[in-house]
Amino acid sequence: MQPYGLTVDKFLDHAAKWFHDREVVGAEAGQVRARATYAELRERSNRMSGALAALGMNQGDRVATLAWNTPHHFELYYAAMGIGLVCHTLNPRLTVAHLAAMIDEAEDRVLAVAADLVPLASELVAACRSIDHVVVLDSPAFDIAAVGRADIGLWGHDALLDAHGAEVVWGEFDENLPAGLCYTSGTTGSPKGVVYTHRSNYLHTLRALQADAIALTARDVLLLAVPMFHANGWGLPFAAPAAGTKLVLPGRVIDGASLARLIRDEDVTVAVGVQTVWLALADHVEATGIDLPSLKRVVIGGSTCPDALMRRLEDKLGAEVQTSWGMTELSPVGTIAAPGTTDPARGSGRPPIGLDLKLTDTDGATLPEQRGVQGHLKVKGASVIDRYFRAESDALDEEGYFDTGDLATIDAAGNLTICGRGKDLIKSGGEWINPNEIETIVGTHPAVRHVAVIGRLDAKWGERPVLIVESDGKADARVLLDLLCGKVADWWIPDRVAEIAAMPLAASGKIDKNRLRADYEAGKIAAVAMGR
């Protein structure tokens, strides 16, 4: 067989050759700002590779991006990876201290930043001596004085392309070289770096494109509402060109009205993002009475979607909801409910080929029975982390499986259901309470938009559960607790309930329980004691 390196530049090469007139659309606040074909973007990305090389970037050097879902960000993905640079995506919603620590650890040399994030970039440049160049994306107008180090090379994206853009050869390196770097969300601990190789990204793309997975085709129009700075944008900046799918990038503003306009104007068939995004869209559809006839599927992930919310999304959007589960450490797709699956008990679906799962006990021993029991979830595959960035040892057990930190069950049909994080378990009176089970039951109430259970310190029991909900204002605390009666042990039932205006969310869309615990302990969340 021919040697054929599994490098990600081949996805854009393929799209440019065989789907040359399919578009990548860039928008802001629901208004289209840019259109380019895959052929045009391939040419621009390749020339940007030459520009990065002209800045002195060498194979293995890291290019940081601090940006939204835009065509320029898409171009930087391929421009960096195409010549063996590492694309380090940064989350703009983190603090300067967190971002600076990541940049310092990665030793990023180029920082590509959205124009509206130049003030944040200036703080990072002042704190991070490894940065040699700043490239401003998406806008020709930016404040040069805002980037305050005299020794920094400062470029507008198109100006850099005009000055130093040159055609180069892509992909002439080993497929096992690093392609991307992304840090975990840090909702349950300190963020850690995950390095993706070209080979792992390539195989992950093939896994995501399977018919029982995300299943994109050349006839689809994909709205990518999951941030490109979060775990490769769920791998879809690779999967879309690989399938010849038209790609719609919504920019920073992803409110319901903006997304509805894009879906209608661009005939979007598949939309991908965390459930909070689609809840806002459903609210807008309900308030305005509009319909979205082109939309066929909505793929959600980030956190468990309550049954009531899933039913509401399908009813209001007129589209099938595909649930999924994944992690930054998995590149990130883990399991996904197959398109056309109607069983409400499908959980987050099965793993596509290329990923294996197993359940263990608390000591790491593989459970003799894997179906219908709860255990600690471990995973193995070509797109699963071996070790964290800069770590001295790997993160795998003796059989090569990675411990996700999740508790899970696998049903008779092979569908995975996440039952909570091991770190979220509450120990009350020496016995364990699983918050996820409580959240799943309370989440069936139609008034509940988001639900979380955290532990509070208790002098008698050690810890007791607190139920926190975000609702439409019609959720009665006693009714919510009554839902639990007979379904969980009486002593599991929370004795304090709080309703808050908005649940704190990480950029991944997961509920930030660290923030909830801190706010509760600081007295920022008022909980009502519920006697029984």
Query: What confidence score (pLDDT) does residue 344 get?
Result: 64
* Residue 335 placed within a domain: no
- pLDDT tens for each residue of 283-304: 999 999 999 999 999 999 866 7
User: Which pLDDT value is given to residue 147?
Assistant: 64
Q: Clarify whether residues 22 and 105 are in a common domain.
A: yes
The pLDDT tens digits of the residues spanning 349-362 come to: 999 999 999 999 98
Question: Is 296 designated active site?
Answer: no
For residue 402, what are the β-bridge partners?
379, 396
pLDDT in tens, 448-488: 989 999 999 887 788 899 999 998 877 899 999 999 998 88
Quick check: 343 pLDDT over 80?
no
Q: What is the CATH number of the domain that holds 435?
A: 3.30.300.30
- Give the pLDDT of residue 470: 92
Number of H helices, E strands in the chain: 14, 25
Q: What's the CA gap between 25 and 247, in Å, rounded?
A: 6
- Report the alpha-carbon distance of residue 421 to residue 42 in Å, rounded: 41
Question: What per-residue confidence (pLDDT) applies to 308?
Answer: 77
Q: Which class for 366: exposed (0-12), middle (13-18), buried (19 or more C-beta within 10 A)?
A: middle
Q: What are the structure tokens assigned to 251, written together?
A: 């920019």
- One of 65, 70, 89, 184 is an active-site residue; which one? 184
The answer on 169 and 24 residing in a single domain is yes
- Does 503 reside within a domain? yes
Among residues 156, 152, 121, the alpha carbon closest in space to that of 142 is found at 156
Catalytic residue among 17, 423, 427, 524: 427
Kindly state whether residues 33 and 49 are assigned to the same domain.
yes
Percent of the chain with pLDDT over 90: 74
pLDDT score, position 186: 55
Share of the chain above pLDDT 70, in %: 95
For the chain, how many structural domains are there in total?
Answer: 3
Distance of CA 38 to the CA centre of its chain: 24
Residue 333 located in a structural domain: no
d(CA 249, CA 253): 10
Question: pLDDT, tens digit, for every residue of 25-42?
Answer: 999 999 999 999 999 999
Q: Render pLDDT for 144-154 as a digit per residue (tens, 0 to 9).
A: 555 667 788 99
CA atoms within 13 A on the CB side of 143: 11
Last residue of a domain, one of 421, 441, 468: 421
Q: What is the DSSP string of 435-462?
A: HHHHHHHHTTSTTEEEEEEEEEEETTTE
Is 316 known to be catalytic?
A: no
Would you call 173 exposed, middle or buried from its count of C-beta atoms within 10 A (0-12, 13-18, 19+)? middle
In a domain, 75, yes or no: yes
Task: List Cβ neighbours of 469 (8 Å cut-off, separation of 6 or more).
Answer: 442, 448, 449, 450, 451, 452, 475, 480, 497, 498, 499, 500
Same domain, 99 and 203: yes
Contacting residues for 444 by C-beta, under 8 A, at least 6 apart? 306, 307, 308, 483
Structure tokens at 521: 């302990």
**Residues 399 and 444 grouped into a single domain:** no
417 and 429, same domain (yes or no): no
Asked if 66 and 92 count as a contact pair (C-beta separation under 8 A), the reply is yes
**With 80 as the cut, is the pLDDT of residue 140 above it?**
no
Give the domain extent around 400. Answer: 343-421
Q: Of residues 75, 329, 439, 499, which has the active-site annotation?
A: 329
Evaluate whether 370 touches 413 at the Cβ level (below 8 Å).
no
Q: Active-site residue 167, yes or no?
A: no
Going by pLDDT thresholds of 50, 70 and 90, the confidence category of residue 311 is confident
Instruction: Name, of 201-205, 307-311, 337-341, 475-479, the range with top average pLDDT.
Output: 201-205
The answer to the question of residue 20 being in a domain is yes
Q: Residue 373: pLDDT above 60?
A: yes
H or E element in which residue 203 lies? helix 198-208
Residue 454 · residue 468 · CB < 8 Å? yes
pLDDT at 312 over 70: yes
Contacts of residue 414, Cβ cutoff 8 Å, sequence gap at least 6: 350, 371
pLDDT recorded at residue 433: 87
Torsion of CA 74, 77, 83, 87, to 10 degrees: 160
Distance CA 363, CA 348 (A): 25
Mean of pLDDT values over 33-52: 98
Both 244 and 348 in one domain: the answer is: no
Q: What's the distance, CA 129 to chain centroid? A: 29
66 and 138 both lie in a single domain: yes
- 449: its two tokens: 């938009």
Same domain, yes or no, for 375 and 413?
yes
Active-site residue, from 432, 487, 521, 524: 432
Q: Which of residues 421, 454, 481 is at a domain's end?
A: 421
In this structure, the chain runs to a length of: 532
CATH number for the domain that contains residue 281: 3.40.50.12780
pLDDT in tens, 71-94: 999 999 999 999 999 999 999 988
CA distance linking residue 63 with residue 326, whole number of Å:
25
Within 10 Å of residue 474's Cβ, how many Cβ atoms?
A: 10
**Do 250 and 382 have their domain in common?**
no
Q: Are 232 and 182 in contact (CB under 8 A)?
A: yes
Q: Which pLDDT score, from 0 to 100, does residue 409 have?
A: 94
Mean pLDDT of the 105-109 span:
97
Q: Is the dihedral of CA 504, 250, 40, 201 positive or negative?
A: positive
As a whole number of angstroms, the distance between CA 274 and CA 227 comes to: 10
> In terms of domains, do 69 and 205 share one?
yes
Q: CA distances (Å), 432 to each of 372, 425, 426, 473, 498, in order?
A: 19, 6, 6, 31, 22
334 in a domain, yes or no?
no
User: How open is the CA angle 365-369-372, to the nearest 5 degrees?
Assistant: 120
Q: Report the C-alpha gap between 428 and 143 in whole angstroms.
A: 55
Task: Please give the average per-residue pLDDT across 188-214, as a whole number.
Answer: 92
pLDDT of residue 188: 47
Rounding to the nearest 10 degrees, give the CA dihedral for residues 251, 210, 296, 414: -110
The Cα–Cα gap between 132 and 347 comes to 47
Residue 2 lies in a domain: no
pLDDT band at 532 (very low <50, low <70, confident <90, very high): low
Task: Note whether 247 and 293 are same-domain residues.
Answer: yes
427 is catalytic: yes
The span from the CA of 421 to the CA of 405, in Å, is 6
Do 195 and 386 contact (CB within 8 A), yes or no? no
Mean pLDDT of 317-337: 95
Boundary (domain end) residue, out of 421, 447, 474 = 421
Under the banding of pLDDT at 50, 70 and 90, the label for residue 263 is very high
Q: Could you tell me if 178 and 8 are in contact, meaning their C-beta atoms sit under 8 angstroms apart?
A: no
pLDDT at 508: 64
Cα–Cα distance for residue pair 377/285, rounded to 1 Å: 38
How far, rounded to the nearest angstrom, does the alpha carbon of residue 302 sit from its chain's CA centroid?
6
- Kindly report the CATH number assigned to the domain that includes residue 361: 2.30.38.10
Rounded to an integer, the average pLDDT of 437-457 is 90
Instruction: Confirm whether 347 is domain-assigned.
Output: yes
